[in-house]
Chain A
Amino acid sequence: MTAGLVTVVMSGVFHAAILFLVAAGLQVVFGVQKIFNLACGSFYALGAYAGVSAVEWYTAAGGPPAFFIVPLMVAGLAVGLVGAVVERGLLRFVYDRDETFQLLLTFAIVLMLEDLIRMTWGTAPRSTSGLYLAYGQTRVLGAIIPTYNLIVIAAGLAIALGIGWLLTRTAFGRIVRATADNREMAEALGVDMRRVYAAVFTLGTAMGTLGGALVIPATAAMSEMGIELVVEAFAVVVIGGLGSMRGAVVGSLVVGVLRAFAIAVYPEVEMLVIYAIVIAVLVLRPRGLFGGGAVA
């Protein structure tokens, strides 16, 4: 009984760790740039495919399976640089526009990235066969969990703490929070807005691509994975509150664990439960559980 429960909870927490990365990317961008980035899911898909390619290349080059996570993470982070291209090439033209246009521009990015991924990697699902259990399995309270899941959960936790440290304890973080609070004032005090925006958007993108890369040993990469994940990330930020990092942590856990339970108990209601909660939160507490506006 406990073993079954632990299995479900752990698979939920694993999913939550991945979801957190994407949702946190969404939050940091929304907090600073006030843009709701529908393309965060597409970045996640991009990271997943880049991860598959990197691991395939690594395996073909004869790298030891025990360290496959290194090329995986490097690829996930490196492809996050696409965020800088997107920000400088597209988004910077619409900062002064109505948010409808900003939202639609990110939708345009969703459409383009979906096809760019199809062009590059084809339409068939891609996976890294066999590496999922390269680290073996671990017994947790009687349940057998793939060790890889535990590594990802630890990585998610470390990144959450790292981002918290970055935003609250460093000069860069202070500038980012000041910009999120009051853009004009920050600019008047000499903050170079172009650099902050480019840096923040790249950071947000890299979190999404890293999330995509990390999920790869557990599931196959598919071209629709991005547009599917974005609605889950959306649920996370609504539940947690738009722009809040603590909200992203709590929201991911709520969505990840609830979904795992729904799948285990009554699969038909899987996402139905999540949307019902999203609607309840939006109606009763539209700013979410931790919403206030600012990042951190």
Chain B
Amino acid sequence: MRGRIVLGLVGLAALCVPLVVPVYQVLLMLPFMAYGVILLGLNLLFGYTGLVSFGHALFIGIGAYAGAVLTSELGVRSLEAVLAVSAALGAAVAAVVGLLCVRYVKIYFGMLTLAFGMLFYTFLLKFYRWTGGDEGMRVLRPALLGLDLDGMPKTEYLAGPYYYYCLGVLVVATALMWRIVHSPFGLCLRAIRDNPVKAETLGVGVTRYRWYAFVISAVYAAVGGALLGPPTGTVDPTLVYWTHSGNIVFMTLLGGFASFFGPILGAFVFIYLQDLVMSVTPYWRLVFGALLATIVIAAPGGLMGLFTRRPTDAAPSA
């Protein structure tokens, strides 16, 4: 009950943000919401299935570059179309990559995903005729729900319609993921995480279920990646670099991977804290590295772990 009240208040606050908060802070909500979607997917792998991907930025890049190619090269401006194509591409690539990756666990899974991520990064960087190389590609302002909003001033567009669009996507993505993790399928994933041998004995197709989780999380990352492009108007290969993959795992841990809403909280705190620290010192990596080290050593449950004492259904992978 208390959880629902908190959730309702958070939802209400999110609806009011563009009305009461300075526009700069509203614009920071955009990457937060995009990362929120990405991390929901990542945590299906990390928190619920016990697989840590160090190459998930690959799928963020697929979504982001799909948005760039569609809007600026192919003249497709509808954001619904962009999201649908991103999701489909993410799923298609993850279906193949996942087949190879999910046969392994632990460090080998992490290394293989990292290698695939860097493969795509190198492709984006070197084949500049198609990808713009390190300068990246432009993302033109997408039309929302069929409405062409090109006449609007940029910040008004981003802090208004685009904000609510992203919020809508985040809400739908959250609701869907809630259903997924609380379904028998989600239960199977947790069983696999806690004891793959036992799960297999009980008739759960361990590899197949890991593969499903991998593909679903890739779709989330691609959709989130597609949302990252329009606010800045460009995408570039750093989105796919291995340190970006590391950062999103960092965000998940910061919020708490053992809780459903932990990763979303992690994305929120990461984005706003990064903005705050960068306004004080250019050395935000030093501060964030120290923060990450502190979390790993002293508070592996992340921020959610500090709030809730009750053991939750998601626990660290063994």
Contact = CB atoms under 8 A, between A and B. Distances in A.
Nearest to A278: B115
Interface string A97-120: 111110111011111111110110
A115 B123 CA distance: 28
Interface of A: 36, 38, 90, 93-94, 97-101, 103-105, 107-116, 118-119, 227, 231, 234-235, 238, 242, 267-272, 275-276, 278-279, 282-283, 286
Contacts of B52: 100, 103
Contacts of A110: 243, 246, 289
B115 A109 contact: no
B104 A268 contact: no
Contacts of A97: 296, 300
A242 B246 CA distance: 21
Interface string B97-121: 0001000101110111011101100
B183 interface: no
Interface stretch (B72-80, B260-268, B280-288): B280-288
Interface of B: 46, 52, 54, 100, 104, 106-108, 110-112, 114-116, 118-119, 122-123, 126-127, 241-243, 246, 249-250, 253, 282-286, 288-293, 296-297, 300, 316-318
B286 A116 contact: yes
16 contacts: A36-B107, A90-B293, A98-B316, A105-B297, A107-B246, A111-B286, A112-B290, A114-B285, A234-B111, A271-B118, A272-B122, A275-B115, A275-B118, A279-B100, A282-B111, A283-B112
Main secondary structure of the interface of A (DSSP, over half): helix
B317 A98 contact: yes
A171 B288 CA distance: 41
Contacts of B292: 104-105, 107-108, 111
Given A110-B243, A275-B122, A104 B106 contact: no
Most buried by A among B52, B106, B285, B300: B285
A89 to B, nearest CB: 9
A237 to B, nearest CB: 9
Given A98-B317, A104-B296, A271-B118, A286 B107 contact: no
B20 to A, nearest CB: 34
A100 B119 contact: no
A282 B284 CA distance: 35
Contacts of A100: 46, 52, 316-317
Given A36-B107, A100-B316, A111 B115 contact: no
B115 A105 contact: no
Nearest to A231: B118
Contact of B123 (A108, A242, A267, A272): A272
Contacts of B317: 98, 100
A282 B289 contact: no
Contacts of B127: 268
Given A227-B242, A269-B126, A275-B122, A238 B115 contact: yes
A40 to B, nearest CB: 14
Given A110-B289, A231-B114, 14 more contacts: A36-B107, A36-B110, A101-B296, A103-B54, A107-B246, A110-B246, A114-B289, A115-B286, A231-B242, A234-B111, A270-B126, A271-B118, A279-B115, A283-B112
B125 to A, nearest CB: 9
A83 B134 CA distance: 34
Contacts of A272: 119, 122-123, 126
A107 B247 CA distance: 9
A115 B242 contact: no
B105 to A, nearest CB: 10
Contacts of B115: 234-235, 238, 275, 278-279, 282
Contacts of A286: 104, 108
B126 A108 contact: no
Contacts of B123: 272
Given A234-B111, A282-B112, A99 B106 contact: yes
Closest 10 CB pairs of A and B: A111-B289, A112-B289, A115-B286, A108-B292, A108-B293, A275-B119, A115-B283, A115-B285, A111-B285, A268-B126
Contacts of B54: 103
Contacts of A107: 246, 249-250, 292
Contacts of A104: 246, 249-250, 253, 292, 296
Contacts of A98: 316-318
Contacts of A235: 115
B293 A103 contact: no
Nearest to A112: B289
Contact of A109 (B106, B289, B316): B289
Contacts of B288: 111
A238 B297 contact: no
A234 B110 CA distance: 11
